[in-house]
């Protein structure tokens, strides 16, 4: 904890703006906004920038860069409001490209702009940029076979023998079963809270949420 405190002597604004490239691209759909200011520091998997900050509770947290940018320029973000991008570029931290809105504003905004699909972090080394595609020799060493022999895509075991993968209650660490999952979905939809269901079924509220939204237990039909 002491080390964390010693590291953060420099003012946040100084540390923040040295990680910003103000010569970013101009958004094609709204050229009047001018150039984006691109975050060149660390980014999250979902494409937003992040920076370590001291939060009021005295602890150190990684916060979203665009939200920090808003706070530096305009002050505290009101509760329950999101900081949204007029330019649609998640790595952008230019205050004039940011505006406050509710989560609903965000999804409506996305619908208008026709970009409902998830943005992929451009820095992520996936697909042809992944080391396994760029370094065949290393691939052979790690997987002990040439790239063309490795079962991928439709030849992968999960596709050729889907029944071999244990899903749902057949999975060794499952804490619930099909009946419980159906009951959770039904009762959550009827208005019971995730917290109370979590207590009853002895799982976390996050697990209830994932079941209800279909992120987990996908093998159990809705
Ligand atoms: Zn921008």
CA of residue 130 to ligand 1 center, whole Å: 28
Nearest Cα neighbor of 40 from 52, 27, 56, 24 is 24
Residue for token pair 């990680």: 19
pLDDT under 50 in the chain at which residues? 1-2, 116-117
Residues 178-212 pLDDT 10s: 999 999 999 999 999 999 999 999 999 999 999 99
C-alpha 172, offset from chain centre? 28
Residue for token pair 């660390």: 42
CA of residue 37 to ligand 1 center, whole Å: 6
The per-residue pLDDT for 112 is 56
Q: For the chain, which residues make up each domain, given as ranges? A: 2-113, 166-222
The per-residue pLDDT for 36 is 93
The per-residue pLDDT for 120 is 60
CA of residue 172 to ligand 1 center, whole Å: 47
Token pair listed for 54 = 């001291």
218 vs 3, 27, 46, 181, 209, CA distance in Å?
44, 38, 22, 10, 13
CA of residue 91 to ligand 1 center, whole Å: 8
93 vs 18, 66, 98, 203, CA distance in Å?
12, 5, 7, 38
Token pair listed for 113 = 């702009």
Assigned CATH for 2-113: 3.90.75.20
The per-residue pLDDT for 7 is 55
Whether the pTM exceeds 0.75: the reply is no
CA of residue 98 to ligand 1 center, whole Å: 8
Q: What is the DSSP string of 11-78?
A: -HHHHHHTTEES--PPPTT-GGG----EE-S-B-TTS-BEEEEE-TTS-EEEEEHHHHHHHHHH-SPP
Cβ atoms 188, 197 nearer than 8 A: yes
Rounded distance between C-alpha atoms, residue 216 and residue 185, angstroms? 11
CA of residue 26 to ligand 1 center, whole Å: 8
Cβ atoms 40, 20 nearer than 8 A: yes
For helices 194-201 and 178-189, angle between their N-to-C axes, nearest 10 degrees: 160
């Amino acid at each position: 904890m002491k080390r964390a405190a010693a590291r953060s002597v420099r003012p946040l604004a100084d540390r923040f703006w040295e990680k910003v490239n103000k010569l970013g691209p101009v958004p094609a759909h709204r050229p009047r906004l001018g150039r984006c200011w691109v975050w060149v520091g660390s980014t999250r998997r979902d494409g937003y920038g992040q920076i370590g900050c001291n939060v009021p509770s005295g602890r150190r947290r990684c916060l979203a860069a665009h939200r920090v940018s808003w706070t530096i320029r305009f002050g505290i973000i009101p509760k329950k409001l999101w900081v949204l991008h007029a330019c649609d570029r998640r790595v952008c931290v230019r205050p004039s490209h940011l505006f406050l809105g509710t989560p609903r504003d965000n999804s409506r905004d996305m619908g208008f702009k026709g970009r409902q699909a998830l943005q992929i972090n451009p820095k992520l080394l996936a697909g042809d940029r992944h080391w396994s595609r760029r370094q065949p020799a290393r691939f052979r060493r790690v997987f002990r076979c040439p790239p063309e022999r490795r079962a991928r895509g439709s030849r992968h075991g999960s596709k050729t023998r889907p029944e071999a993968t244990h899903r749902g209650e057949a999975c060794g660490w499952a804490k619930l079963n099909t009946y419980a999952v159906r009951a959770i979905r039904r009762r959550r939809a009827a208005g019971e809270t995730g917290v109370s269901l979590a207590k009853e079924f002895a799982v976390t509220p996050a697990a209830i949420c994932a079941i209800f939204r279909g992120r987990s237990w996908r093998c159990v039909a809705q």
